[in-house]
Amino acid sequence: MTTFSRLTVLFALAGAFAVAQPLPKAETILDRYNEVTGGKAAYQKHTQEIMTGTISFPAQGLGGKLTRYALAPNNEYSALELGPIGKIESGFTNGVAWEKSSIMGPRVKSGDEKDQAAREALFDAQVDWRKIFPKAETLGSEAVNGEDCYKVLLTPPTGKPETRFYSKKTGLLLKTTTTAISPMGEVAVEVEVSDYKTFDGVLFPTQSKSKMGAQQMNMVITNVSFDQPAPAGTFDLPPEIKTMVDKAAGK
């Protein structure tokens, strides 16, 4: 065997050895993310969160502002004011997931769409990820914009799984692919996040670029504040939604 051949075999074996390196368990990757973004204590220190930002659809030339209020353990209210489309509100309170817009009017969510809203409303979803994803597995490695990532598949009890990509180097989440569920159908969504910034001890990605079919949507988080009380009634069901819920309950 020539020196060249020996080197080739050696490199080949080294490559095989590298490939054979066991991937970290998904729970290790997810817990690492919690650690590098502030740690469990920093997350659990808070019970209320107010997030503000901007949203844009560059191809359509549309833009607006986003406000999200969250209250532990699982209350959520979001308002998106999107220029000529008007205000789109959604929320989750007392097990009711709802949406209201100028176009479609009030609507109570059900099925997988409701379950997805419930998962998103869970205040400690990040640290308590085991509560919402009973199954998590590392699928392999894949680069996101040139950065090596672990690819992790998270499966909820109902609805669609999501795949997350965590940087091997920093432990930060760089991309998520999932399926958005609405009465308009199921649409594959790819979200790339970046520009992590610290807000009261917790590191948040402040920019996201989402692709949904042919649509692209960009979001910029301008501020995250904790434990500032939301305006009174923020988490109350809107009257129209309450009427619908009461009617469905036979009240």
Residue from the set 1, 18, 41, 103 that interacts with another protein by CB under 8 A? 103
Smallest distance from another protein to CB 235, Å = 23
**Among 163, 203, 240, 245, which residue sits at the site for another protein (rule: CB under 8 A)?**
240
State both tokens at 138: 């590392």
Using the minimum distance from each CB to another protein, give the nearer residue, 9 or 59: 59
Footprint of another protein on 11-70 (CB under 8 A): 57, 59-62
d(CA 151, CA 249): 43
Beta bridge partners of 110: none
Least distance in angstroms from the C-beta of 184 to another protein: 5
Cβ closest to another protein, residue 89 vs residue 240: 240
Within the chain, residue ranges assigned H as helices are: 3-20, 26-36, 40-44, 111-121, 129-132, 239-248
The CA-CA-CA angle for residues 83, 86, 92, to 5°, reads 125
Q: Does 248 bind another protein (CB under 8 A)?
A: no
Beta strands in the chain (DSSP E): 48-57, 62-71, 75-82, 86-93, 96-101, 105-108, 135-144, 147-155, 162-167, 173-182, 185-199, 202-212, 215-226
Give the binding range for another protein (CB under 8 A) out of 16-24, 84-92, 146-154, 217-225: 84-92
Q: How far is the CB of 82 from another protein (least distance, A)?
A: 10
Residue 213 touches another protein, criterion: CB under 8 A: yes
